[in-house]
Amino acid sequence: MSTSAFHSLKVLDTRDEIGGMAKTVLFDVPRDLRETFRWRPGQHLSFRFFVDGQEQRRSYSISSSPFTGEPMRITVKRVKRGRVSRHINDTLKKGDLVEVMSPKGNFCLDPDARARRTHYFFGAGSGITPLYSMLSSVITAEPHSFAHLAYGNRNEKSILLEEDLEALAALNEDRMSLHHILSRPGWWSSADTWRTGIVDKAAIETLFEEEPPYAQDTQYYVCGPGDMNYAVREALMSLDVPASRIHMESYGGSKELDASVEEVEGVGATARVTLNGSQYSVGVNRGQTLLEAARAAGLTPPFSCQSGVCGTCRGKLTEGKVHLRARMALEDADLRDGAILTCQSVPTTQSLSLTYD
């Protein structure tokens, strides 16, 4: 049978969430479709609805774990002018039949009973749905592992699956932690708010400080709306997390997200170099570092390790821009002041001014 075929599933039950602003829909998967609808934590379902006579297709992440014995379910937030989300929230009820494709997606966490890992989850809004499936799967089916969730929402009334999360955390205090981040918390807060703001670098750094990984095989899962995924990914990478450990739903065709690109070639440029009180004009070939160019021009600038580690070749950029391949010897504040490591700098503008003095 084609995996893109639609099947009819009966709605087992529905449950209102966050004061009627979202709905959880549970499905009854009959015995002969169990295999077809076997899902991995993190996968989603594609639906076909007919709303006002028009066919509409949507995908929603499965918000339950295949390891806990719960029914397969989705949790859908009501979106203003969202035809399908309103249809689901307003009309779908117990006993209805819906058309669904088998579960798909590679943003998955497959638990391993023998593994001992620390899983960090970063979510916001509806992004919690696949993360909840992953998180509850880890707790159920990966007994030696740990899980930490940083979950961003607007306020305490918009926290999806809050009760499920709190219940899970209360039963597993020794290996799970829950961190609510609210961008606009209300006067009174039912949720135990951890921070105000968004899931950003400062929040992530604080989370690592408060909940450092115990199991050292760490994995990071990100799911949120809009630009959050890339911002979190960039923040994680700036905190030394290797890209290979970061998992996020890839919606394809995204921006140049990778700040980690090693071999930036830069552009050919002319640099005005001040060294020991004298000024020189130095041609820099594409792919050449400022240090290499200066030495090729017969200058004797200071340098040592050529690895970006020692800081000997440090200079200050007063005009133009460079790409720094590595910057171990510099702090963020140094960078803001224009400091560069000439052994690691390739020009990205055609004209630069640099001083060693």
Partner 1 sequence: MPNMFHLLPVEAYTSQDWYLREQREIFSKTWRYAGFMEDLSEPGQYMAVQAGLNNIFIVMGRDRRLRAFHNICRHRGTQLIRAVGKTQKALTCPYHDWTYDLEGNLISVPEEQEEFGQVDKACLGLKPAKVDLWNSMIFVHPDPNAPSIGEWFSPVEEYIGPHIPEELVEYEELNQSYEIKANWKVVVENYIDVYHLSHLHSNTLQMYDHKAAEYHWEGPHFVFWEPPSAEYLENQDSKLIAPRVIPKDLNGAWVPMLFPGIGLTGSEDGWNIFIVEPLGPERTRVLNRGRVSDSSGWKFAKQAVTSSMFWTKLGLSGKYERHDAMGDDDPMVAGDFTGEDIYACEQQQKSLHSPYFETGPAAAGESPVIHHQKVVLEWLGEGR
Residues in contact with partner 1 by CB under 8 A are 114-116, 144, 205, 208-209, 212-218, 236, 239-242, 262, 304-310, 325-332
Q: Residue 167's closest CA among 189, 193, 139?
A: 139
How many other C-beta atoms lie within 10 A of the C-beta of residue 35? 9
Which token pair is 155? 């306020």
Please provide residue 243's backbone torsions phi and psi, each rounded to the nearest 5 degrees. Answer: -55, -30
The smaller minimum CB distance to partner 1, of residues 198 and 237, is found at: 237
Nearest distance from C-beta of residue 4 to partner 1, angstroms = 38
Nearer to partner 1, 22 or 141 (CB): 141
Give the shortest CB-110-to-partner 1 separation in angstroms. Answer: 16
Assign 339 to helix, strand or coil.
Answer: strand
Q: How far is the CB of 254 from partner 1 (least distance, A)?
A: 23
Nearer residue to partner 1 within complex by CB, 31 or 114: 114
Q: Which residues does residue 45 pair with via DSSP β-bridges, in sequence order?
A: 60
Q: How far is the CB of 303 from partner 1 (least distance, A)?
A: 9
Q: How many other C-beta atoms can be found within 10 angstroms of the C-beta atom of residue 183?
A: 15
Smallest distance from the beta carbon of 198 to partner 1, in angstroms? Answer: 19
As measured in angstroms, the least distance from the Cβ of 325 to partner 1 is 8
Nearer Cβ to partner 1 (192/217): 217
Least Cα distance to 196 among 186, 207, 179, 183 occurs for: 183
- β strands within the chain, DSSP E: 7-17, 22-28, 44-51, 54-61, 72-77, 97-100, 117-124, 146-153, 176-182, 193-196, 217-223, 246-248, 269-275, 278-284, 314-319, 322-324, 339-341, 345-347, 351-355
Residue that is written with structure tokens 């549970």 in the block: 26
CB of 212 to partner 1, least distance (A): 4
Among candidate residues 267, 298, 306, the one with its CA nearest the CA of residue 282? 298
Q: For residue 69, how many other CB atoms are within 10 A of its CB? A: 8
CB of 289 to partner 1, least distance (A): 11
Q: Name which of 197 and 212 has its Cβ closer to partner 1.
A: 212
Cβ closest to partner 1, residue 177 vs residue 306: 306
> In terms of CB distance, is 23 or 327 closer to partner 1?
327
Instruction: Between 88 and 324, name the residue whose CB sits nearer to partner 1.
Output: 324
As measured in angstroms, the least distance from the Cβ of 103 to partner 1 is 29
Query: Of 58, 192, 222, which is closest to residue 127 (Cα–Cα)?
Result: 222
Closest CB to partner 1 among residues 133, 218: 218
3-state SS, one letter per residue, for 205-239: HHHHHHCCCCCCEEEEEEECCCCHHHHHHHHHHHC
Per-residue tokens: 323: 């790409």
